[in-house]
Amino acid sequence: MARKSHVFQIKKWLTLGIFASLVLAFIGLGFVFVPGPHGQERRISFPKGVSLTFIADDLARQNLIHSGFVFRLLARSSGQASQMRAGEYDVPAGASMADVLEILTTGDSVLHVVVVPEGLTSQQVVNLIAQLAVLNGDVDVPAEGSLFPETYHLPRGTLRADFIAQMQKAQSDVLAALWPKRDANLPIKTPQEALILASIVEKETALDSERPLIAAVFINRLRKNMRLQSDPTIIYGLVGGVGTLGRPIRRSEIRRQTAYNTYRIDGLPPTPIANPGRAAIAAVLNPATTKALYFVADGSGGHVFADNLKSHERNVKKWRQIRGTGR
């Protein structure tokens, strides 16, 4: 009799357990597809390595789902528990538990816009991305000119080293695409030389319309074995990757011998002086057709060009008058 009673008790508890599971499943099913308790779009973020329990409890704590327990059951029973990806996601207002799980497993992570302007040195780019809280990790300063200035879209948590590698690949890809389309008989023999000259063009003007003309002046000078005489190269030789001098160049600095002073050296400096964009690279490889050998600021953000020294000196005199009147 005792054995039969024991078996009866086991069957009773099994029956109760099955009944309780069915009740919980029924209740949970109601939670799965009904709208969530949040009334507006919310942004959530989970780092790599966190557990399903952590995610479920955090979602419940933020009042994004009705039950962390049911969310865990849903994730495990659907086989999606192992498919959830770290990242940052936007959850629409009233999204159901099933919707939230779908977003965390197949949705697109939020992308943050990172703008890298043309003409920054590599040190300046590293300084810029070091201030972005959406990125992680440390990074060394890469080679000058190796980074492609562009607007990037990155998920939170992107490693800074990975972002640098992405910019380097983009610069390499742009140079590889433009190099075969270069004009014939350029006095530039390698893609690296093109990058060096493009960085100088980038620092000389911010106007897209002027880049082919500025590039042509330097190309013409190289063909005639004339020194480039570019002020931005002097500045780079003085301050390096810091990028700015913060004051006018002194006459003594124009006379100072550095590897980057193109008033003192022949040809190109040893490396780029900044990170040029596509337009500057394209301008160097396909410069404007002109005989100009000189240019000087025109007082309105652009430059005036001259074919000979006499005309250039007149332009310089006019520019000095403009500066003297504060125009």
Q: Give the domain ranges of the chain.
A: 14-106, 111-172, 186-325
How many angstroms separate the CA atoms of 167 and 118, rounded? 12
257: exposed, middle or buried (Cβ count in 10 Å: 0-12, 13-18, 19+): exposed
How many angstroms separate the CA atoms of 249 and 266, rounded? 20
273: exposed, middle or buried (Cβ count in 10 Å: 0-12, 13-18, 19+): buried
Under a CB-based contact definition with an 8 Å cutoff, are residues 212 and 90 in contact? no
| Domain made up of 14-106: CATH architecture | 2-Layer Sandwich (3.30)
Write phi, then psi, for 302 (nearest 5 degrees). Answer: -115, -160
Give per-10-residue mean pLDDT for the chain (327 aa).
47 45 53 82 87 92 90 87 87 90 87 96 97 95 98 94 98 98 95 98 94 98 97 94 88 94 97 98 98 90 92 87 59
- In order of 15, 27, 93, the CA distances from 22 in angstroms are 11, 9, 30
Checking DSSP bridges between strand 303-306 and strand 158-159, what pairing results, if any?
unpaired
Q: What is the pLDDT of residue 36?
A: 83
How many angstroms separate the CA atoms of 146 and 273, rounded? 11
Enter the tokens of residue 102: 């779908």
What is the Cα Rg of the chain in Å? 32
Q: Looking at the chain, list the stretches that DSSP marks H as alpha helix, in order from N- to C-terminal side.
A: 2-33, 52-61, 68-77, 97-106, 122-130, 160-178, 191-204, 211-223, 231-239, 251-255, 278-285, 309-325
For every residue of 51-78, DSSP letters joined together read -HHHHHHHHHHTTSSS-HHHHHHHHHHT
CB neighbours (10 Å) of residue 33?
10
Q: Closest Cα to residue 293, out of 228, 236, 210? A: 228
How many angstroms separate the CA atoms of 40 and 136, rounded? 29
Whole-structure pTM value: 0.82
